[in-house]
Structure 1
Amino acid sequence: MPHSVVKPNNRQLSFDENRLSIYTDRLLEGLDMLDKEQLIRGVLSKLRRDEVTGEDISNAFTMSALELVTKEEPNWKFAAARSLLTSLYKKAAHHRRYKSYADEPYGALYPLITDLVHKGIYREELLEYYTKEQIEELAELIDYKRDLLFDYIGLLTLTERYLTTDFDGHIMELPQERYMIIAMFLMHKEPAERRMELVKESYWAMSNLYMTAATPTMSNAGKKVAGQLSSCFIDTVDDSLEGIFDSNTDTARLSKMGGGIGVYLGKVRARGSDIRGHKNTSSGIIPWIRQLNNTAVSVDQLGTRKGAIAVYIDVFHKDILAFLDLKLNNGDERMRAHDVFHGICIPDLFMSAVENRGMWNLFCPHEVKKVMGWTDSNGRPLGLEDFYDEKLGQGAFSDKYEEAVNHPLLSRITVPAIDVMKRVMKSQLETGTPYMFYRDTVNRANPNSAHGMVYSSNLCTEIMQNQSATVVEKEELVTKDGQTRIIISKIPGDFVVCNLNSIHLARAVPAGVLDRLVPIQVRMLDNVIDINNIEVLQAQYTNSQYRAIGLGTFGLHHLLALEGIRWESEEAVTYNDNLYEKINYLLVRSSMELSKEKGHYPKFKGSDWDNGTYFSHRGYTDGKLEGKYVTTAQWQELQQEVQQNGVRNAWMFAIAPNGSTSIIAGSTASIDPLYELLSYEEKTTYKIANPAPDLSDKTIWYYKTAFNIDQHWSIDMAAARQRHVDQGQSFNLYVRPDIKATDFLSLHIHAWKSGMKTTYYVRSRALTIEECESCSS
């Protein structure tokens, strides 16, 4: 046992075992059935030196509590969190020069904001839009007891990744202050008479862990030297040298600021195609993907991790077979790109050919445009990628595909469709990708199809918005006032931006706060659009024209366990259907109310929102699919109100992976089943046990883990949700490495036929997959 404790000012105090006991009581307050003496024995075993510091004691408590975490006694993770909190409070007090007490561990907010604004760490808007008196009023609202909601892994993640430090890396900000700063920054442009009320409402939503903001917003809101607030982006590459290199530059600029990027390359000509009439000169898309791969590696995200880029092409592109081998670990390394993710865009016609063992034709998009002569109303050439089927097996794409197959001058490669699918599944089992993007399903459900086409998704397969390539119009030398400049003129395309946050289902639903929560979430997301400053101008412009947002959810399995609903059950499918209908109703109503206040998005006219078909297409208004929480009459009334008042946001619902932020909130990720009852977080010198949330004798029976679940039930639940989600879901398939090919294929066929828009990773115990950090809303 130590003889003395060394204080930060080098003052020494005698080691007092009684004080240790009092501190232990405080750590364990309210955590029933945890053995105090067991914890103290563990602490004393780690304090064998004559002299110890306060930090040594805190670390001993933290590590001793973590060592006691088991499935049977999961609440030790909260004891460990409280010990970490003590250390965090002391560090912040020391660096900010105030005294921290057990019943008042937070310092004054106004001096913190003033200091960090003057140091260039916080943004000036925090002082320009809020008076000292207002900041002090908000400080009174901060409830440090809400820090007790964090378990150890959640608090550690929040501390290491999100809390503000000074330029020397010292912790300056505490958890509740981070939430308050985010709330202040997101609401600073609101009218002065409502601003404080909205800040308080935002803080309520975040600090109670009823919701989480996406990682870019959590990290960067209110900070000066930081990235932007949007989660991810999707670019469409023009089939020209300028378009390809400009896209790479834009990707680098966004990656530098912390964005995840999806890149659609389906318009770029295939290997062996002609260039300016010269035959067999194109090297195809693989070299350009390798260039993007180098960008991902060399332009990291805010100096913390390599860039995250996903590339997509269509399954009817001539380079598809080489594309499917991109991430394999064998073969020609000159044709590999291991640091990007890849996805394929799949029409119904292909899946039908797979199912019926038919043949499939591959074309060069450049040659299709040149030979077929299809054009839009403005005379611009069109390719197969510009069409989709309005019904299963019927529509423009099927017709155009048939025309292309029968054209005598159009070259093609013909292969069995099942052979292509085998290559897809082989890659998925080895690498987790490609993602599957069912393009006909997506475009049929697109509420803004009057204004464009959706070609692909983003890095995490949940964003589906109109896309088009930015085209260089001209480049000229201009001399004015004796100065010569090169002026480049571009026609901006639809460069997709996604702004995300998510509902913590397992806290918000049992608390009955959805009706209050969703409106403030929508306002927070909508404000990100106006506050954000995106370097890529076409992205900024697209963001302003569509004002798209992506409200999502996490903690689904956590909620089902609390409700006593088994994952593999019709009850779970029905529960998903009703719950997500309610969320969607609140979401659309909130956007409509915001439109009444601030105006609808600029491209509202002509959309499915405008003509009312958004509601009828989803079966909301005919009375045949009336849900548990929302009546047909309510939907009919909302349809009329939307047609009259508009909506603020062109797209609203998108379920992201929520990897990091669900950890902070202490819940299960996104819509995924629990991975393990007791998982482990690897640190440099130790492992941290992390039990399932709210694990108890009651919930354990409803926590069947991911690889033991029949994935067809997961697909059924996702299909029930999809009707209510105007964009997509980051939906993972969990399979064993030895899954039979026929069983694996049946999962894909089921997902497609059920009306799902995408599948994300295929996860196998043999794979380690690095998550997209930007989409961790």
Structure 2
Amino acid sequence: MPQVVTKPNNRQLAFDDMRISVYADRILEGLDMLDKERLVRGVNSKLRRDEVTGDEISNAFMMSGLELVTKEEPNWKFAAARSLLTSLYKKAATNRRYKSYPEEPYGAFHPLLVDLVKKGIYREELLECYTKEQIDELAECIDYRNDLLFDYIGLLTLAERYLAHDFDGKVMELPQERYMVIAMYLMHQEPAERRMDLVKEAYWAMSNMYMTAATPTMSNAGKKVAGQLSSCFIDTVDDSLEGIFDSNTDVARLSKMGGGIGVYLGKVRARGSDIRGHKNTSSGVIPWIRQLNNTAVSVDQLGTRKGAIAVYLDVFHKDILAFLDLKLNNGDERMRAHDVFHGICLPDLFMERVASRGEWSLFCPHETKKVMGWKDENGRPLGLEDFYDESVGEGAFRKKYEEAVNHPLLSRITVQAIDIMKRVMKSQLETGTPYMFYRDTVNRSNPNNAHGMVYSSNLCTEIMQNQSATVVEKEELVTKDGQTRIVISKVPGDFVVCNLNSIHLARAVPHDVLERLVPIQVRMLDNVIDINNIEVLQAQYTNSQYRAVGLGTFGLHHLLALKGIRWESEEAVTYNDNLYEKINYLLVKASMELSKEKGHYPKFQGSDWQTGKYFDQRDYTSGERVGEFVTTEQWKELQAQVQQNGVRNAWLFAIAPNGSTSIIAGSTASIDPLYELLSYEEKTTYKIANPAPDLSEKTIWYYKTAFMVDQHASINMAAARQRHVDQGQSFNLYVRPDIKATEFLELHLHAWRAGIKSTYYVRSRALTIEECDSCAS
């Protein structure tokens, strides 16, 4: 056994077996049924040296706890977390130079703010908008007991990726302080008389793990040398050399600040099209995608990982076949782009042709505009991509498509629709992508279709907002006061911004706090819009015009298991329908109340919110589909209130993947089924066992894992939710590598027919897929 323990200040103490026993009692307090003697034996087996440090003892407790984690004894992950927490407290005390590490170091919070503002790590607003007395009052609200809610992998993820460190990499923040700093920063522009109460409410929501903020907000709020607070962006590329290169520059600037990017390329002319009348000169979209691929690699996200970019193209674009092969591992490397993700935009008509084994024609968008002569009310030329079917089975797109097919002067490529679909499915089984974006379904339910159109989605397929290309109007030399400048004028397009956070269903629902929780979440999201400073000005402008937010959820399977509801049951479908209707009701109501206080978003007039169509279209007011938690009369009353007072935000609901933050909260990701009952996180020298949340003899029967559940059951639940989600869901399909083509096709047809707006990854056990951190709310 060791003889001496060396403390961080190099003070040496005699090793005391009793202190090991006392510490074991402390970290096992409240964790019933865990065997203290097994833990102590494991610790002692790792300390066979003459001299050890305090850190080495903490690590021995952590490692011993992790080694004991099994499906039968999952709570060892909390014992390991408590040892990590002790180590974190000690390091923060040493780095911040206070003598001890009490579990409630209230007096250390104000000095922390002063020190990190002075060092340029925290933003000055934290001291400018709050007095010392107010900061001390907020410090009294910090509840360090809530640190015990973390399991080991959740706390480790938070400590490594989100807590504030100094420029030497030393940890300075404690977990509850991170939540308080986020709350203070997001509320710092609120009126002084309400600010403190709102900070406390936001802290309550995060500290109790009733919600999580998106990764950019979680990591960057209150910090000075950091990225922005929004998660993802979507650009629409204009069909011009200036537009293409400007888009690439904008993508680089946003990637530098940690944003994930979606890029719609459906307006860019196809390979072989003319340029300024010169025939067969265009190289098509693939070379420009390769440029974006290079941008993703060379302009990384805050120096931590390569940029994350998704590119989207319509299935009626002439370059679609080459596009579908982008990420394959064979063929011409000059036509590949392995570091971007890709999505395909699909109208109803194409899916109908797939089902009926019909033909499908491909067109160049530039040639279509030139030959067909379609124009909008302002005389601007339109292409096929600018139309959608307003109702199932009929509408503008299919009429324009037939006109294009029958026009004798418009060139086209005609193939079998099922052959395109085969290429899609082949790529999905090999790479997990392309994502599927059902454009007619999306635009039919777009509450702001009076002001624009949705062409594609984002990096994680949950954001669906109006898009348009930014166009360079003119470039001129201007001389003023003896100084010559080059002035470039642009007409800003709708450059989509997504601001995200998510409800932890498995905590918020059982604790019955949704009515209190959703309003503070909406306010937090809305404040991100005003606080954020986005370098790309058209994105900043679009953000201010629509004020779009995306409240999401995670922990669905966790909640179902706690409630004893089987994933593959009609009860699960009904529960999804009722629960998400309630969340949407609270969400719309919260945005309406915020509109009464601060005003509606500038483009409210003419929207489905203003006309009331939003509520009628979803059968909230007909009385024919009455939910368990919200009555028809409540919906009608809310409809009238919205028409009178407006809503603060043009879009409200979007369910993101929540990969990282669901790990922090110790729950299941997003709306996905549990991946494994016992999964492992690989570290350099060891593996961390991660059991299913709240795994017990009761819940294990309701934790059927992702590759075992019937994917049609998952689709049915997603379809029930979709009625209430005004944007989309990051909805994954889990398939076996040997799935039959007919079964795989039927999954896609089912998802489309059920009214799901998009599908995200196709996950196979043969694939390793890198998660998107930008939308990990």
TM-score range, shorter chain: over 0.9
User: What does residue 180 of structure 2 align with?
Assistant: 180
Cα separation, 1, equivalents of 2:198 and 2:612: 31
Whether the 8 Å contact between 2:107 and 2:139 is mirrored in structure 1 is no
User: What does residue 488 of structure 2 align with?
Assistant: 488
User: What does residue 289 of structure 1 align with?
Assistant: 289
Whether the 8 Å contact between 2:183 and 2:199 is mirrored in structure 1 is yes
The alpha-carbon deviation at position 411 of structure 1 amounts to: 0.2
- Does residue 735 of structure 2 align to residue 732 of structure 1? no
User: What does residue 523 of structure 1 align with?
Assistant: 523
User: What does residue 746 of structure 1 align with?
Assistant: 746
The alpha-carbon deviation at position 175 of structure 1 amounts to: 0.2
User: What does residue 395 of structure 1 align with?
Assistant: 395
Q: Deviations over 1:164-199 (max 9, x none)?
A: 000000000000000000000000000000000000
SS at match of 1:140: helix
Cα separation, 2, equivalents of 1:762 and 1:401: 29
Cα separation, 2, equivalents of 1:623 and 1:652: 24
Whether the 8 Å contact between 1:100 and 1:106 is mirrored in structure 2 is no
User: What does residue 500 of structure 1 align with?
Assistant: 500
Q: Deviations over 1:498-553 (max 9, x none)?
A: 00000000000000000000000000000000000000000000000000000000
Cα separation, 2, equivalents of 1:191 and 1:129: 10
1:199-278 equivalent positions in 2, closer than 5 A: 199-278=199-278
- Does residue 336 of structure 2 align to residue 374 of structure 1? no
User: What does residue 86 of structure 1 align with?
Assistant: 86
The alpha-carbon deviation at position 391 of structure 1 amounts to: 1.4
2:728 partner amino acid: G
SS at match of 1:512: coil
SS at match of 2:114: helix
User: What does residue 4 of structure 1 align with?
Assistant: 4
Cα separation, 2, equivalents of 1:644 and 1:72: 56
1:525 partner amino acid: L
SS at match of 2:521: helix
- Does residue 532 of structure 2 align to residue 532 of structure 1? yes
Cα separation, 1, equivalents of 2:546 and 2:105: 44
User: What does residue 138 of structure 1 align with?
Assistant: 138
SS at match of 1:48: coil
- Does residue 570 of structure 2 align to residue 570 of structure 1? yes
1:446-485 equivalent positions in 2, closer than 5 A: 446-485=446-485
Cα separation, 2, equivalents of 1:244 and 1:299: 17
Please, what TM-score do these two structures have when normalized by structure 1? Answer: 1.00
Moved over 4 A (4+): none
Cα separation, 2, equivalents of 1:473 and 1:494: 16
Cα separation, 1, equivalents of 2:178 and 2:646: 34
SS at match of 1:528: helix
Whether the 8 Å contact between 2:107 and 2:136 is mirrored in structure 1 is no
Cα separation, 1, equivalents of 2:22 and 2:430: 54
1:646 partner amino acid: G
User: What does residue 157 of structure 1 align with?
Assistant: 157
Q: Deviations over 1:639-697 (max 9, x none)?
A: 00000000000000000000000000000000000000000000001100000000000
- Does residue 170 of structure 2 align to residue 170 of structure 1? yes
| Identity percentage of aligned residues | 86
User: What does residue 190 of structure 2 align with?
Assistant: 190
Q: Deviations over 1:355-397 (max 9, x none)?
A: 0000000000000000000000010000000000011221000
Whether the 8 Å contact between 1:89 and 1:105 is mirrored in structure 2 is no
The alpha-carbon deviation at position 106 of structure 1 amounts to: 6.0
The alpha-carbon deviation at position 103 of structure 1 amounts to: 4.5
1:281/1:163 Cα in 2 relative to 1: closer, same or farther (>3 Å)? same
SS at match of 1:706: coil
User: What does residue 556 of structure 1 align with?
Assistant: 556
User: What does residue 623 of structure 2 align with?
Assistant: 623
The alpha-carbon deviation at position 104 of structure 1 amounts to: 3.6
SS at match of 2:707: helix
Q: Deviations over 1:412-435 (max 9, x none)?
A: 000000000000000000000000
Cα separation, 2, equivalents of 1:681 and 1:614: 43
Whether the 8 Å contact between 1:272 and 1:279 is mirrored in structure 2 is yes
Cα separation, 1, equivalents of 2:197 and 2:412: 62
Unaligned runs of 5+ in 1: none
The alpha-carbon deviation at position 102 of structure 1 amounts to: 5.0
Please, what TM-score do these two structures have when normalized by structure 2? Answer: 1.00
Q: Deviations over 1:310-346 (max 9, x none)?
A: 0000000000000000000000000000000000000
Cα separation, 1, equivalents of 2:212 and 2:13: 42
Cα separation, 2, equivalents of 1:559 and 1:100: 39
Whether the 8 Å contact between 1:89 and 1:106 is mirrored in structure 2 is no
Cα separation, 2, equivalents of 1:595 and 1:434: 38
Cα separation, 2, equivalents of 1:126 and 1:460: 33
Q: Deviations over 1:186-243 (max 9, x none)?
A: 0000000000000000000000000000000000000000000000000000000000
1:199 partner amino acid: V
Cα separation, 2, equivalents of 1:446 and 1:95: 51
User: What does residue 62 of structure 1 align with?
Assistant: 62
Q: Deviations over 1:60-118 (max 9, x none)?
A: 00000000000000000000000000000000000001123455456511100001001
User: What does residue 334 of structure 1 align with?
Assistant: 334
Cα separation, 2, equivalents of 1:622 and 1:7: 70
The alpha-carbon deviation at position 8 of structure 1 amounts to: 1.8
Cα separation, 1, equivalents of 2:254 and 2:104: 41
Unaligned runs of 5+ in 2: none
Cα separation, 1, equivalents of 2:99 and 2:703: 44
Alignment RMSD:
0.6
User: What does residue 343 of structure 2 align with?
Assistant: 343
SS at match of 1:709: coil
2:358 partner amino acid: G
Cα separation, 2, equivalents of 1:727 and 1:249: 27
2:531 partner amino acid: I
Whether the 8 Å contact between 2:106 and 2:136 is mirrored in structure 1 is no
The alpha-carbon deviation at position 56 of structure 1 amounts to: 0.5
User: What does residue 437 of structure 2 align with?
Assistant: 437
Q: Deviations over 1:728-764 (max 9, x none)?
A: 0000000000000000000000000000000000000
